[in-house]
Structure 1
Amino acid sequence: MTACVTIAVDLDASRRSRALELGADHAVAPDQASEVVARLTGGDGAAVVLDLVGSVPTTSLATQIVMRGGEINVIGVGQGSVEVGYGTIPTDVSVRFPYSGTRPGSARRPGAGPLGPDLGGRPDL
């Protein structure tokens, strides 16, 4: 999938298996995520966290596993939030909620093909 190590986190074992099939390097349950991220990063934490759910538990987990100077992207539209301020998350962390409507040129054109390499559209995770 990418030059970095990817760690998929999901409650559902079948979706973790699917993530591995699609190229994730590791797939773990949420209660294992902090330990696995710490072990794989030498205690530094994840450079980038993509929260595809956006719920209270997932945004909380994101703040626990992100590294100093890392980035949290909350893509899911659940009811979660990220508290920012000194002592709430590691320093120099960027937090993004990237929903801002359609940017010119970013909308998919009809017949533009699949969304990603060999996925044929949205993957069923």
Structure 2
Amino acid sequence: MEELNIINEAYINQKNKYEESIKTFADKLEEKINFLKEKASDVEQSARVTYENRVDLLKQKKDEALDHYQKIRETSESKWSEVKGEASAKINDLKDETETAYTGIKNGFSYLFDKFKS
């Protein structure tokens, strides 16, 4: 009978240790989940700020283009030949800057989406 009690005690101890290990695992997993949620929130906020800054930059460039457009519209035909080269260079610079900013936003989000998929 004493042997049966020892076996039962050993079984109970093993069961308790197993239960404890599962609980410890679940607790550690909960910590990791909370950490990832916090990081996801940080990334989300950081991405939002970056996105908004880039959008603001694109709006600024659009305003510059419209200002430039207005100046060109107000330029007389006789003055057009004098400012044509400068105007063309200015609009090409604006196009390059906006394409770079737009591509950066698009690629940044593609990168994030790819990271979340994996």
Q: More strand by proportion, 1 or 2?
A: 1
Normalised by the size of structure 2, how large is the TM-score? 0.17
Q: Which has the higher contact order (CA 8 A, sep 6+)?
A: 2
Higher helix share: 2
Larger radius of gyration: 2
Task: State the TM-score, normalizing by the size of structure 1.
Answer: 0.16
